[in-house]
Structure 1
């Protein structure tokens, strides 16, 4: 839903909600294409900014038994099936972001100042908490995962602009013995705060969002290389503060798209995955046709997956929704058919 198209009464309500939550809502006149949500997860019943970041686990033996993991930054990790029904809750503390590679998930745990590790059983489609790795830094904020060969990478990000990279030998699991191999100063501008990030193992790159500045890229093959700016808020390609969740839709031969949440404008910016990372379009997530799923506003975390799922042959986008439909009440996650995004933005089906 675009701010500029709201009726006066709705606009007033949003402005009052913004004042109440110290949020800033942006209408800069940049057009965005509407794309309807397909379905939603069960709500995290209660008040406050609770839901934050989703991640899809694609079941390698039975794709219909895949799972959506969703963080509750007050309580723990929620698990949903592909109908959106909740199947499990893990009371592991205040986890903010989550990501998955293979059958292992990691989450940034502010309560324990650690990386929380989880394994996912393909036969039972259940999630098991393996334990926590202390990061020795306050408030691990965002996190993303990468898998290169038998090395699993977990990268928590921080509000001081730093990112840590931890490496775990997959063959040693379920025993946790990750090694801190790098700490990188990514944030350079504004308030430095980092959150969203994503590994692109195929192209040897990592994307990181600096909330008040834009999107950075790290060289996965040489972590000593200085971060490179991909896009900025100032460039007016669609980003606004806060630059939040990001993930990639993987195509063939290293092609694909990077999707980034421009939180305060209720929209998402899409870039080519390969350099020079041209901006390809902007979209919003609207209510579905019968109104049973409401529109998405103020998205924090998101996940994209190109794995074919039942009814979604090109994969899906999953986004956090701040208002369901009232701001900070019963927050949840909305799921969008990637085919609809491709059609709306005229993206090539690579």
Structure 2
């Protein structure tokens, strides 16, 4: 989420979390956040600063690209909002910075890259290549970059079809309102081989399914297949209706998303509500799989403080996630098992759920990313996360987890400082199965 909304939401989320956790304090559960093990990062990226001096760069969402010929030369591709994209090697050193598009005109919003995901083996002209797809909230479009590890000047090349349409907005005036492309997850239909992106809309509950298509001259475009709206209001067990507290005019948006390619299942994190499970082609009926603790807690928006004042917790929420739910990523295992990992932003933890629907996507443990003694600090208010269970050379022979850190150090006064932490996947697996 953007820094300004994060600042407002942090106070509101804290107040709601305290109200929702009152009962948990009196009677701790097996999933209490304080009991979770910690894992420490092996590396961290240079700090990004969200101000004019720092290039308005705000870390948000990573993706891990594996070099099949030389896994130790794999890359992490990450969004930096108005700062565009950053590409890092496995030492967390920056190897390329890709700027976001400039404003199309006076008073118009500039490009702002929110989420990023990968598509492998997509058709480009006469051949195939891996591409990074990012949601550009500033222009309400997707941008697509070819990944070529040995290209002079950097591994990413913009191959977006110039005719790529806006995702949700009908005009530039609507784009400037910034209810635009936000969260993103890509997937490939195993039956047809076609590649897709599911995109969410900022401050709304809408999801759009876009098919990626070949454009002229080796470019990639997309066409809208269908849309789906998740609920904005919810019927509680006592018969009342509840909607998450927010600034007037804002709906409960989705950001973190991931698709399980084996089942064609989309997991979508509605930030103040919980995790939905639905078909990735946006057909069928969505199911709210896991609620945040604050689910059902009433709140009143105070315009003077720009905060939500919580009421009494009726006890209808979950026990594993504290709003916002963010950073969904799929940890697949070689035997077909695996975990859905989710960032529980409200209490700085990560929750793991069983990948298989037949097991009810049961909770399987959690962990924190904590500071390494004499090394990188941990992760707080994590927005985005990506995991890859595959060998990546000597540094990460068991795989890698990359998480965003919403409060990177060293901080510099009032400057918003963010970055990414690299965690050995073996440490994560050990924490989940001690």
TM-score w.r.t. length of structure 2: 0.70
Check conservation: 1:61, 1:122, Cα contact below 8 A. Answer: no
Matched, 1:119 2:146: yes
Match of 1:279 in 2: 363
Match of 1:36 in 2: 40
Match of 1:163 in 2: 207
More displaced stretch, 82-91 vs 38-47: 38-47
Q: In structure 2, list runs of 5 or more residues that go unmatched.
A: 1-5, 26-31, 101-110, 121-129, 170-178, 234-243, 245-250, 294-316
Structure 2 residue corresponding to 1:100, chosen from 118, 122, 127: 118
Matches of 2:206 and 2:402 in 1, distance apart?
26
Match of 2:372 in 1: 288
Q: In structure 1, list runs of 5 or more residues that go unmatched.
A: 1-16
Paired residues, number: 329
Larger Rg belongs to? 2
Any idea what the Cα deviations from partners look like across 1:272-311, whole Å, max 9, x if unmatched?
Answer: 1111100111211001132x20121111111111121123
Matches of 1:245 and 1:212 in 2, distance apart?
13
Matched, 1:240 2:322: yes
What SS does the aligned partner of 1:341 have? helix
Matched, 1:153 2:179: no
Check conservation: 1:142, 1:156, Cα contact below 8 A. Answer: yes
How far the C-alpha of 1:141 sits from its partner, in A, is 0.9
Matches of 1:21 and 1:227 in 2, distance apart?
28
Matches of 2:204 and 2:277 in 1, distance apart?
17
How far the C-alpha of 1:223 sits from its partner, in A, is 3.1
Matches of 1:239 and 1:212 in 2, distance apart?
10
More displaced stretch, 176-185 vs 238-247: 176-185
More strand by share: 1
Matches of 1:19 and 1:179 in 2, distance apart?
35
Matches of 1:152 and 1:226 in 2, distance apart?
22
The 5 A counterparts of 1:1-350 are 22=11, 24-25=13-14, 26=17, 28=21, 30-31=32-33, 32-47=36-51, 50-92=58-100, 93-102=111-120, 103-124=130-151, 126-131=155-160, 133=164, 134-137=166-169, 138-149=179-190, 150-158=193-201, 159-169=203-213, 174-189=218-233, 190=244, 191-220=251-280, 223-234=282-293, 235-275=317-357, 276-290=360-374, 292-310=375-393, 311-325=395-409, 326=411, 329-346=416-433
Query: What is the root-mean-square deviation of aligned Cα atoms in Å?
Result: 2.5
Any idea what the Cα deviations from partners look like across 1:219-275, whole Å, max 9, x if unmatched?
Answer: 23x632011111111443321111111100111343111010111211111101111
Matches of 2:403 and 2:95 in 1, distance apart?
19
Classify 1:284/1:329 alpha carbon distance in 2 versus 1 (closer, same or farther; 3 Å).
same
TM-score w.r.t. length of structure 1: 0.86
